[in-house]
């Protein structure tokens, strides 16, 4: 049996580095000239406010180079799309990331897959997945994620990047409470029943403890490409210093294909993995009891329990989760928080002896609003909750928050996370612009 081919190259210069990773992997060799191509970048989070993009969002540099090279292969039926929550967010992202220039120069079509239409697709999950119709009509999908870890899924690469094609209802179902048919199981199915998925992993910037802006970015300068999405992800995982056999979604995807997660089953060309791999942490570490982030525990935060997240907390509460932790960190003054317990996701239950129990999100509220262990309920309802509801809840707990900071939604949180990259010249906005 022939081995799947994966190329790994160092990013050294515009266009030529992407050309090299594509040519070494023979990625475009079999594409017919009339092929309809749908490119899926990873724009996991978008805000009109300044925010860290490095490792969070696929660089515009790589997207532009892929479009240029497709044109060199005489392929010009190209669509770029991502699933944004609103038309305004899509319009703003396409403009600021320079995609409108690609539309003008190369006739690229731009699509917000979050607006639909959607088709129900049997991908092997326990439910039919509402998948965007646009990529389903393509001859080939090119998944272009960033090279990063994920605090729930361990890694988020070519496979998980496809989650951006499904609608909100299906995204929430992906984070189900079933211990077996969970997020990992569902992510493993994402390349099923869709057009062939080529993968280019953008590792110019990498991210640990992703997938969003509260992670830690690194300038890594790597590119990975393969015609086989699983093989690309296995190699990408090794480059992040993580064993693929420890990533449940990759184990499941390999099992579904009758394969293993062993790199020895893949033909790797270009750079040797051992010489360029760098370990990236994927999870946020908590104390032994699992009820305080380790930095909070070491600083001896008193009167607070903030349970470690699980895979049932969906994307929309996850964005708020990071912001709430920052607010709590900034609010700590050495005094007690007064007996607060925060619960997230779909399976946590309140413990006894707390003065106030904060139920974050509609799932938590519906599950535990009448739980006998709750002394005083402080709900942050909504799916997802609003920033106003978050501020109200914090103030009920005696925690003052800057409402002006929050009034722009979670968007304003980006300003906070941007501070850690100041005076670091390797983090350049120019990679997210097209001239």
Cβ–Cβ under 8 Å, residues 292 and 328:
no
DSSP string over 417-434? HHGGGTT-TT--GGGG--
- Non-local (6+) Cβ contacts of 399 within 8 A are 327, 328, 331, 337
Task: Look at residue 132 and tell me whether its pLDDT is greater than 90.
Answer: yes
Number of H helices, E strands in the chain: 17, 16
Q: Which of 386, 376, 391 is nearest to 409 (CA)?
A: 386
How far from the centroid of its chain's Cα atoms is residue 353's Cα?
36
Share of the chain above pLDDT 90, in %: 88
Average confidence (pLDDT) over 188-213: 97
Partnered with residue 172 across adjacent β-strands are: none
Cβ–Cβ under 8 Å, residues 380 and 389:
yes
Distance CA 25, CA 46 (A): 31
Mean pLDDT of the chain: 95
- Res. 435 pLDDT band, cuts 50 70 90: confident
Average confidence (pLDDT) over 291-297: 97
- Res. 89 pLDDT band, cuts 50 70 90: very high
Q: Which residues of 339-368 are buried (b: 16+ CB within 10 A; e: fewer)?
A: bbbbbbbbbbebeeebebbbbbbbbbbebb
The neighbour count for residue 193, using CB atoms within 10 Å, is: 14
Q: What is the pTM of this model?
A: 0.95
Q: Which of 149, 23, 118, 46 is nearest to 409 (CA)?
A: 46
Map out the domains of the chain with their CATH numbers: 4-282 (3.40.50.11440), 294-420 (no CATH)
Task: Look at residue 386 and tell me whether its pLDDT is greater than 90.
Answer: no
Report residue 232 as tokens. Answer: 């690309």
> Strands 4-10, 216-226: parallel, antiparallel or unpaired by DSSP?
antiparallel
Q: How are the residues of the chain apportioned to helix, strand and coil, as percentages rounded to the nearest 5?
A: 35, 20, 40
The number of CA neighbours under 13 Å toward the Cβ of 392 is: 12
Q: What is the pLDDT of residue 1?
A: 64
DSSP letter, residue 400: -
Distance CA 4, CA 304 (A): 50
Distance CA 284, CA 192 (A): 31
Cβ–Cβ under 8 Å, residues 396 and 379:
no
Task: Look at residue 141 and tell me whether its pLDDT is greater than 60.
Answer: yes
Share of the chain above pLDDT 70, in %: 97
Cβ–Cβ under 8 Å, residues 200 and 22:
yes
Q: Which residues of 113-151 are buried (b: 16+ CB within 10 A; e: fewer)?
A: bbbeebeebebebeeebbbbebbbebebbbbbbbbbbbb
- Res. 408 pLDDT band, cuts 50 70 90: low
Query: Cis (ω within 30 of 0) for the bond into 15?
Result: no
Q: What is the pLDDT of residue 413?
A: 66
> Strands 266-270, 4-10: parallel, antiparallel or unpaired by DSSP?
parallel
Q: What is the pLDDT of residue 412?
A: 60
More confident residue, 374 or 386: 374
329-348 confidence digits (pLDDT tens): 989 999 999 999 999 999 99
The neighbour count for residue 406, using CB atoms within 10 Å, is: 20
> Strands 146-150, 154-156: parallel, antiparallel or unpaired by DSSP?
antiparallel
């Amino acid at each position: 049996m022939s081995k799947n081919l994966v190329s790994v190259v160092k990013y050294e210069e515009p266009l030529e580095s992407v050309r090299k990773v594509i040519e070494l992997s023979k990625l475009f060799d079999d594409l017919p000239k009339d092929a309809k191509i749908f490119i899926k970048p990873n724009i996991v989070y978008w805000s009109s406010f300044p925010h860290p993009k490095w490792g969070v969002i696929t660089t515009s540099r790589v997207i532009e180079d892929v479009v240029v090279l497709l044109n060199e292969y005489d392929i010009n039926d190209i669509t770029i799309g991502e699933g944004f929550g609103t038309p305004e967010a899509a319009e703003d992202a396409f403009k600021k990331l320079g995609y409108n220039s690609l539309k003008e120069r190369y006739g690229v079509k731009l699509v917000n897959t979050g607006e639909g239409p959607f088709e129900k697709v049997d991908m092997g999950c326990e439910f039919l997945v509402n998948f965007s119709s646009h990529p389903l009509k393509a001859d080939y999908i090119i998944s272009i994620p960033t090279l990063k870890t994920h605090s729930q899924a361990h890694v988020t690469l070519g496979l998980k990047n496809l989650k951006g094609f499904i609608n909100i209802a299906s995204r929430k179902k992906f984070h189900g409470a079933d211990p077996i048919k969970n997020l990992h199981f569902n992510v493993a199915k994402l390349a099923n029943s869709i057009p062939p998925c080529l993968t280019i992993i953008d590792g110019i910037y990498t991210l640990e403890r992703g997938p969003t802006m509260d992670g830690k970015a690194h300038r890594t300068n790597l590119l990975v490409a393969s015609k086989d999405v699983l093989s690309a992800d296995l190699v990408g995982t090794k480059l992040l210093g993580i064993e693929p056999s420890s990533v449940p979604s990759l184990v499941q995807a390999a099992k579904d294909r009758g394969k293993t997660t062993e790199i020895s089953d893949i033909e790797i060309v270009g750079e040797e993995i051992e010489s360029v791999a760098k370990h990236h942490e994927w999870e946020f570490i908590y104390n032994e009891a699992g009820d305080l982030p380790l930095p909070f525990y070491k600083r001896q935060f008193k009167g607070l329990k903030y349970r470690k997240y699980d895979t049932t907390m969906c994307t929309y509460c996850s964005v708020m989760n990071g912001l709430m932790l920052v607010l709590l960190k900034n609010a700590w003054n050495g005094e007690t928080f007064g007996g607060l317990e925060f619960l997230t996701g779909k399976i946590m239950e309140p413990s006894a002896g707390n003065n106030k129990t904060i139920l974050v999100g509609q799932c938590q509220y519906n599950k535990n609003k009448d739980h006998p262990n709750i002394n005083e309920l402080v709900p942050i309802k909504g799916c997802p909750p609003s920033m106003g509801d978050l501020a109200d809840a914090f103030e009920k707990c005696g925690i003052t928050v800057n409402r002006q900071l929050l009034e722009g939604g979670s968007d304003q949180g980006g300003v906070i996370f941007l501070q850690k990259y100041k005076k670091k010249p390797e983090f350049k906005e120019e990679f997210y612009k097209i001239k």
